[in-house]
Structure 1
């Protein structure tokens, strides 16, 4: 019995056992005719999208998505599938993407919202942003959706900040055309708004019929413009406080001193 066991252990491995590839490392099966590994999905399968694959099935592949930038195959076709969407490196041990700065998601498929909107905004997709009446540039809510193979491929891939505000933002009555926090990542703050006390013939805060910045929407009756410090002071966009010029005072610089009267 012992002699038979020794002979079995010493028997040469036959061609087609993939012994030189460690029997496909338990993550694939051996093709005897070619002595090659047919790896399982996620370990280098033929259907896996990867920058490179380990033919002994010892390394993971990472999630893939439409490439952010690639060579177009014809006049209407681009963004072919790419590992980590072409914006990250794949950790072969864990099968996870390490995305470059500004990109996120398991396949680095999302872009935008640097600094997490500075803690003063919501990070939302273009699809959702189109439905929000307070997203800049102001416009009527719309539908922006479709298949990834259409021109709306970016609907759930590009994200942006919709900044917070202590007052209502929009084109309607009682709403202002600018939010309290603003900037690409909501790091800047508007100051108190007011009507310029020197221009008694016009109300600068009245945005009725005024086209919002960006040119997509017009203020309805009763809509308000944001006029930092009533145009009579300097706005500190870090603190959101006014520094009024000589002759004006108040938190919004709408009051005139006796010398200015």
Structure 2
């Protein structure tokens, strides 16, 4: 007697080799880690987890890859609850969604890769993973930048030592170094100002 499959399956006669005895055919969501594909288990005591398209796996034919796998191969299955425990930087019921680094540091928001590509133009084709990968779109492309929007640009101003107008592109007026952690300029000797835009010494 198989304890009536623990209430999570039905008894089925094996009918011959290699399993001539009565076995359990488990209900959906119940099975064995050794036989996930057919969801058969002697007692139907263990849970299976939802599947998603694997972001990393061996291809199963010349032109086919990314098979359906538990937790999308981006996490492990909790056999007691049937829920995916996602690896770091992945989320979702099947761990199918990539997370942005550091939640964009509070200075941006998450955009799917396909949307980022189309932000400044258009895409002529799509890929299977265009909605999986994500990136940070920083709130202000000038004030904050970097993969996680954690870096700060320093104020820019016209370089006081040239005749050209570099107001919009010269960090610290080319007369200092920028601390991208706090967005403050450290001026070279002989220059001062928030953007090192003023001379203090006439050479």
Same fold per superposition (TM over 0.5): yes
Residue 248 to residue 49, structure 1, CA distance change in 2 (3 Å): farther
Partner of 1:157: 132
Provide the rounded CA distance (Å) in 2 between the counterparts of 1:164 and 1:75: 43
Q: Pick from 190, 195, 198: which aligns with 1:247?
A: 190
Residue 124 to residue 235, structure 1, CA distance change in 2 (3 Å): same
Any gaps of 5 or more consecutive residues in structure 1? Answer: 1-18, 133-139, 147-151, 170-178, 206-224
Query: What is the root-mean-square deviation of aligned Cα atoms in Å?
Result: 2.5
| 2:25–2:41 contact (8 Å) kept in structure 1 | no
Residues 182-261 of structure 1: pairs in structure 2 closer than 5 A: 182-200=145-163, 202-205=164-167, 225-257=168-200, 259-260=201-202
Aligned residues, how many?
A: 195
Q: Does 2:50 align with 1:63?
A: yes
| 1:145–1:155 contact (8 Å) kept in structure 2 | no
Provide the rounded CA distance (Å) in 1 between the counterparts of 2:186 and 2:122: 39
Provide the rounded CA distance (Å) in 1 between the counterparts of 2:88 and 2:169: 34
Partner of 1:86: 73
| 1:126–1:144 contact (8 Å) kept in structure 2 | no
Q: Does 2:102 align with 1:127?
A: no
Structure 1 residue 145 displacement after superposition: 6.6
Structure 1 residue 162 displacement after superposition: 1.3
Residue 121 to residue 144, structure 1, CA distance change in 2 (3 Å): farther
Partner of 2:104: 117
Rg larger for: 1
Structure 1 residue 164 displacement after superposition: 2.1
Provide the rounded CA distance (Å) in 1 between the counterparts of 2:114 and 2:59: 24
Instruction: Select the structure that is richer in strand.
Output: 2
Structure 1 residue 160 displacement after superposition: 1.3
| 2:160–2:199 contact (8 Å) kept in structure 1 | yes
Residue 55 to residue 188, structure 1, CA distance change in 2 (3 Å): farther
Structure 1 residue 231 displacement after superposition: 1.2
| 1:113–1:185 contact (8 Å) kept in structure 2 | yes
Q: TM-score normalized by structure 2?
A: 0.84
| 1:234–1:244 contact (8 Å) kept in structure 2 | yes
| 1:65–1:81 contact (8 Å) kept in structure 2 | yes
Provide the rounded CA distance (Å) in 2 between the counterparts of 1:144 and 1:64: 30
Deviations along 1:105-162, whole A, 9 cap, x unmatched? Answer: 2211122412111222112211222232xxxxxxx3224774xxxxx01111111111
Partner of 2:12: 31
Q: TM-score normalized by structure 1?
A: 0.67
